[in-house]
Chain A
Amino acid sequence: MKFKDQLKAGVILDNPIFMQTIGLCPTLATSTSLSNAIGMGVAATIVLICSNIVISALRRFIPDKVRIAAFITIIAAFVTTIDLALQAFVPSLAASLGLFLPLIVVNCIILGRAEAYASKNAVLPSALDGVCMGLGFTFALVLMGFFRELLGAGTFLAGLSTLLPFLSGVIPAEGFAIPFFNTNPVVMMILPAGGFLMLGFIFAAIQKIMAGKEDK
C-alpha cells in the first residue's frame, strides 16, 4: 500500500475517532482548547509510532498467548518516557493534560493498531501506519478543540505560546480574541456536557455527508 493511500485511510476513511469510534475518552476530555488538543494529539502520535515500530520488530518473538500483555508493557514504557519528558520540558502542558497523560497507555487506538496492524506487518509500513493514524487522531482532536475553544471561550490558539515558547512573539499568551464570540461565550462548550454535544454534532455532520455521497 502506498503512503498516500495509508494517509487517506488514517485521516479520513478509517479515522480512529470518526469512523472507528475508538479512543473517545481523551478526545472528549482534552479538547477543551486547541493547544491542549494539539499537545495530546502529538503525545499520543509519538507513542503510537514508537510502539508500532517496536511491536512490529518483535512480532516474530512475542508468543501469541501473551501478546496483549507484551503490547501493553511496550506501550506503557513509551508512555512513561513521554510523560517524564513532558513534565521536564513542557510542565504547563503536562499539568493541563494531567491524568490523561499516563492514561495514553489504555488508549484503545494504540492497542488497536498494535493488534490489527503492527503485529502483522513489517517495520516501515507499521511506522507509517502509526504516523497516519496519529494524524487522524490529532485531526479529530484539533477539530473538536477549535470549535469548543471558539464557542466556549471566544479565543483562537490560547496558551499555545506557553506550549511552544518560540511562538510567543507571534501569538499572544491568551490567544487571538475572536470578535462576537469572545463577548458571547457559551461556557457550556468547554464543560463536559459541551464535549458530548460537539462530538454529537460532528458525527451528525459526517452522517449527512456520507448520506449525500451515497445518493450520487
Chain B
Amino acid sequence: MPFVFPDSMGLTEILSLAVASILVNNYILVQFLGCCSFFGVSKKTDTAIGMGMAVVFVMALASAVTWAVQYFILEPLDLQYMQTIAFILVIATLVQFVEMFMKKSMPALYSALGIFLPLITTNCAVLGAAISNIDNSYSFIGSMVYGVGSGLGYTLAIVLFSSIRERLDATSKCPKCFEGFPIALVSAALLAMSFMGFSGLSIW
C-alpha cells in the first residue's frame, strides 16, 4: 500500500492548534499526561520551571524525530505496529544524547536540570505527544507546534501548581488527614476546574 504524507496545514489551523494544546487540551490538567512528574517535582517553583523547560525542549525534538521515523521508516516498510517500540527507543536515545550534549556544551543548564533530564524518558507526555501527532495525522510543522505547545502547557500547569504548593506549605491550616499530598491533589482539582473554563474556546 503506498503511503501518503499528511496534508499540509494552513496558518489558522496551526495557530488554533497552538492555543488548543496550551490551554484547551492542557496536557496535565485536562488529559492527565505527565502527572507523575507534575506531583513529583512541583514542590519548588525554581525546579518546576527547570523541568518545564527541559520538557519543552525534549518534546520539540521528539516530535520532529518521531514524525520522521514514522513517515520515512515505519510507513514505507509497513511496520506501523512497531510504533510503540520504535518511539520509546528513539525518545530514550534522544534524551541520552541531549544529556551528553548539554553536559559538554551547556554545563550550567545541565547542572540546573540535574536528575530531571533522564526522568523525561518515562514522562508519558513526551511519548503521548509523539503518538498523538501520528494519530491525528498532523503535518511536520503541525507536529512541531503541537509538541512545543503541549510542552508549554505542561510548563504553565506545573509552574502555577508549584506556586500554589509553596503557599500551601508555608501558610495553610488544613485538617490533619489532608496535610501534604491530599491537599495538593485537591488544589490540583481546583486548578483543573479553572482550566475547564477554556473548553470550547476557539478563536478562529
Minimum CB–CB distance for B146 against chain A, Å: 13
Minimum CB–CB distance for B23 against chain A, Å: 14
Indicate if the CB atoms of B33 and A102 lie closer than 8 Å. no
Binary interface encoding of chain A residues 71-106 relative to chain B, with 1 for a CB under 8 A from any of its CBs, else 0:
011001101100110000000000000010011011
Task: Determine whether B7 belongs to the interface, using a CB cutoff of 8 Å to chain A.
Answer: no
Identify B189's interface contact among A25, A84, A103, A196, CB under 8 A. Answer: A196
Task: Please choose the segment from B45-53, B67-75, B108-116, B120-128 that sits at the chain A interface, where 4 or more of its residues have CB less than 8 A away.
Answer: B120-128
Indicate if the CB atoms of A102 and B89 lie closer than 8 Å. no
Contacts of A196 in B (CB 8 A): 185-186, 188-189, 192
Interface secondary structure of B, over-half rule: helix
Q: Given A106-B123, A196-B186 in contact, is the A76-B32 Cβ separation under 8 Å?
A: no
Q: How far is the CA of A77 from the CA of B86 in the complex (A)?
A: 10
Task: Determine whether A199 belongs to the interface, using a CB cutoff of 8 Å to chain B.
Answer: yes
Task: Determine whether A195 belongs to the interface, using a CB cutoff of 8 Å to chain B.
Answer: yes
Binary interface encoding of chain A residues 126-148 relative to chain B, with 1 for a CB under 8 A from any of its CBs, else 0:
00000000000000000000000
**Interface centre among A80, A83, A196, by most B CB within 10 Å?**
A196
**Interface centre among A22, A28, A79, A106, by most B CB within 10 Å?**
A106
Indicate if the CB atoms of A208 and B177 lie closer than 8 Å. yes
Task: Determine whether B170 belongs to the interface, using a CB cutoff of 8 Å to chain A.
Answer: no
Give the size range of A's interface with the partner.
35 or more
Contacts of B122 in A (CB 8 A): 106, 108, 111
Chain B residue at smallest Cβ distance from A202: B182
Interface secondary structure of A, over-half rule: helix
Identify A193's interface contact among B36, B132, B189, CB under 8 A. Answer: B189
Q: Given A24-B39, A111-B122, A211-B176 in contact, is the A72-B88 Cβ separation under 8 Å?
A: yes
Indicate if the CB atoms of B81 and A84 lie closer than 8 Å. yes
Task: Determine whether A1 belongs to the interface, using a CB cutoff of 8 Å to chain B.
Answer: no
Q: How far is the CA of A102 from the CA of B179 in the complex (A)?
A: 34
Task: Determine whether A29 belongs to the interface, using a CB cutoff of 8 Å to chain B.
Answer: yes
Minimum CB–CB distance for B131 against chain A, Å: 6
Contacts of A188 in B (CB 8 A): 193
Q: How far is the CA of A111 from the CA of B118 in the complex (A)?
A: 14
- The 26 listed contacts between A and B (C-beta, < 8 Å) are A25-B32, A28-B32, A28-B35, A29-B33, A68-B121, A69-B92, A72-B88, A73-B88, A76-B84, A99-B33, A99-B128, A103-B33, A103-B131, A105-B88, A191-B196, A192-B30, A192-B31, A193-B190, A193-B192, A194-B189, A196-B192, A203-B182, A204-B177, A204-B182, A207-B182, A208-B177
Q: 9 tightest CB-CB pairs across the interface, nearest first?
A: A200-B185, A196-B189, A29-B32, A208-B177, A193-B192, A197-B189, A204-B182, A200-B186, A203-B182
